[in-house]
Amino acid sequence: MAALLLVLLLASLLTPASAQGESPFSRPQLRGVLREAFTAIIDRHLEAAAPGDLALWSLRGLGALDTSLVADVQDGMLRLRQGPGVLREAPLPGRPTAIPPEAAARGRPLVAQPAALPPAAMPDLLADSLSQFYAEAWQASPALRRAGMEGLLQAGFDEVFNHLDPYSRYITAEEAWQARQRRVGQSGLGLRVAAGQRDTLVIATLVPDGEAARAGLREGDVLRSIDGVAISARRIIMAAEMLEGPPGSEVALELRRGNQRLSVVLRRASQLLQPLQAETQDGILWMRIAAFSATTTEQVSAALNAAFAQATPPRGVVLDLRGNRGGILTQAMTVADAFLSGGPVAQSLGRHPEAQRVWNAAGSDLAQGAPVVIMVDGRTASAAEIVAAALGDRGRAVVVGSATLGKGLIQIVIPLSNGAEVLISWSRVLAPRGWPVQGLGVLPAVCTSLGVEALRSGLQMLGQGQPPMGPVLARARLARPPVPASEVTALRASCPPAEGRDLDVQAARTLLNSPATYRAALPR
């Protein structure tokens, strides 16, 4: 009996990892994916990063899967340790290194890298070095083998992108396929989900006036279950499929907000929410853009043409971008173009030549020169910020509300040979006057986030021809990237980001009812 148990034990130890529920390891495939991804990062990312830093960050990411794995650099050598032992060490990629005598004395096989390497060789060097480190870690760590190659890659790239910018990321093959099939979680419920911290699934965005927003849900709420089925970030595809459903059907959600637990039942919209809602009230055309989709410009143009073809055209336009998280970049440019008859809309700058571009208005002002007010809030982001920045900078509109989110980076998607993708921030958007949207956001000419009394005082000053936000806006327009964090904080503190409020509408009406006040608020 003892002999039989011993045989069984030996058989289990010799069974391939794939047969024990662990995915197989392929160093050639891993090396190829690493080479593709690091070629894109080194060549195209907005900020240059040293190859040695990229290697160190990548290895440190393994600690998210197995806390016993620790990466560091000592005497120009990149090391991966597990507990007190060193799994592997090698010259730090990108740094000319001779083998230190003390390292050679340890008896480990080391290869000194050449004193100089052309930049084009760096991705190959990184991929070669990291794939060997990863292979050693794979053999030593059951946790890595359970995570599989995809988990290994994601952990490494997550740490790399944590150091580069908030928006670049590695997208697994399954997520990439799902994104090509549908926008994950963008259902008739008016919400989108994303992976959060510690394997949680969170509400990433809400559609203004969507079912979820009307039910009181908030961005950042943790989604715990759907129709009684527990979900997490590891089951994001299943969660997306469960959120989808027939129009008019119901779904029960369990959520967590801080220490509070929430239970809601939402009804899926009977029809898809339109990106534009437009109506004329008291001679003012109110247009609310929820997101910049493929048809936004077409709908905005149609609404403007119809309104200004009337016998009595609107005396002003209010463009409501509060809560608009962005969307298709080109649609933002063409929506801004609909209010301009020429001149710059925006420009983008990056290290890669193709990341540098200038957008100019090419059409005609469909609003026929009528006053325009743009309402923004702390949730206004990305493409919506570009529209507000363009029309505000050009003196075509008065921006009302609070400081916006400050997302002014453009991403490019790079497909990888394993079916995954890397989303890389490769350029930053600059407003017509040259200041960066990223971090700084759009500051309004009329601030509502400081309260009723501050707004009343500001409007009175405008009535006297003295713009209260004038000095702040002039200072912001002189900003050039990279803007010091202290300057960003000081400028945004002049009108802190806040959610949209009734004061925005009151301010917009006051501006359009008083031409002199409106003219005083226009940037100079």
Tell me if residue 288 falls in helix, strand or coil. strand
What's the pTM value of the predicted model, to 2 decimals?
0.74
Residue at 350 is within a domain: yes
Q: In whole angstroms, what is the distance from residue 455 CA to residue 457 CA?
A: 5
Tokens 């006297």 belong to 464
Residue at 13 is within a domain: no
Residue at 38 is within a domain: yes
pLDDT at 203: 87
* Claim to verify: residue 245 and residue 316 sit in the same structural domain: no
Q: In whole angstroms, what is the distance from residue 318 CA to residue 374 CA?
A: 6
* Claim to verify: residue 226 and residue 322 sit in the same structural domain: no
247: preceding bond cis by omega (within 30 degrees): no
Residue at 26 is within a domain: yes
8 Å CB contact between 273 and 212: no
pLDDT at 153: 94
* Backbone φ and ψ of 522, nearest 5°: -65, 140
pLDDT at 214: 87
* Claim to verify: residue 56 and residue 193 sit in the same structural domain: no
Q: Which domain holds residue 236?
A: 175-267
pLDDT at 363: 80
Q: In whole angstroms, what is the distance from residue 280 CA to residue 299 CA?
A: 15
Residue at 464 is within a domain: yes
Using CA atoms, how far residue 216 sits from 168, 210, 213, in Å, is 30, 10, 5
pLDDT at 179: 58
* Claim to verify: residue 478 and residue 386 sit in the same structural domain: yes
Spell out the residues 6+ positions from residue 236 whose beta carbon is closer than 8 angstroms to its own: 175, 184, 193, 194, 195, 201
* Claim to verify: residue 94 and residue 181 sit in the same structural domain: no
Nearest residue to 94 (alpha-carbon basis) of 79, 110, 116 = 116
Using CA atoms, how far residue 462 sits from 198, 449, 453, in Å, is 49, 17, 14
Residue at 7 is within a domain: no
- What CATH number is given to the structural domain containing 459? 3.90.226.10
pLDDT at 187: 55
* Backbone φ and ψ of 279, nearest 5°: -160, 155
Q: In whole angstroms, what is the distance from residue 325 CA to residue 205 CA?
A: 7
* Claim to verify: residue 373 and residue 452 sit in the same structural domain: yes
pLDDT along the chain (524 residues), means of 10: 33 35 80 96 93 96 95 94 93 64 44 54 93 96 94 94 91 73 55 77 79 88 90 73 76 92 85 76 95 88 96 96 89 96 95 93 93 96 96 97 94 91 94 96 97 96 94 96 94 95 95 96 88
* Claim to verify: residue 309 and residue 249 sit in the same structural domain: no
Q: In whole angstroms, what is the distance from residue 176 CA to residue 233 CA?
A: 15
pLDDT at 154: 92
Q: In whole angstroms, what is the distance from residue 35 CA to residue 54 CA?
A: 12
The total of structural domains in the chain comes to 3
pLDDT at 513: 96
* Claim to verify: residue 126 and residue 245 sit in the same structural domain: no
Tell me the torsion sign for CA atoms 35, 36, 42, 43: positive
Give 290's Cβ-side CA count (13 Å radius). Answer: 17
Nearest residue to 418 (alpha-carbon basis) of 213, 155, 229, 149 = 149
8 Å CB contact between 184 and 193: yes
- What CATH number is given to the structural domain containing 251? 2.30.42.10
User: What residues does 257 pair with on adjacent strands?
Assistant: 260
* Claim to verify: residue 246 and residue 285 sit in the same structural domain: no
pLDDT at 237: 62
119 token code pair: 């930049």
Work out the number of other CB atoms within 10 angstroms of the CB of residue 173. 14
Residue at 3 is within a domain: no
* Claim to verify: residue 157 and residue 196 sit in the same structural domain: no
Q: In whole angstroms, what is the distance from residue 46 CA to residue 410 CA?
A: 9
Using CA atoms, how far residue 422 sits from 48, 157, 425, 508, in Å, is 17, 9, 10, 42
Residue at 347 is within a domain: yes
Q: Which helix (H) or strand (E) holds 481?
A: none
Q: Domain boundary at 228, 247, 267, which?
A: 267
Tell me if residue 495 falls in helix, strand or coil. coil
Tokens 């890397």 belong to 422
* Claim to verify: residue 136 and residue 194 sit in the same structural domain: no
* Claim to verify: residue 427 and residue 282 sit in the same structural domain: yes
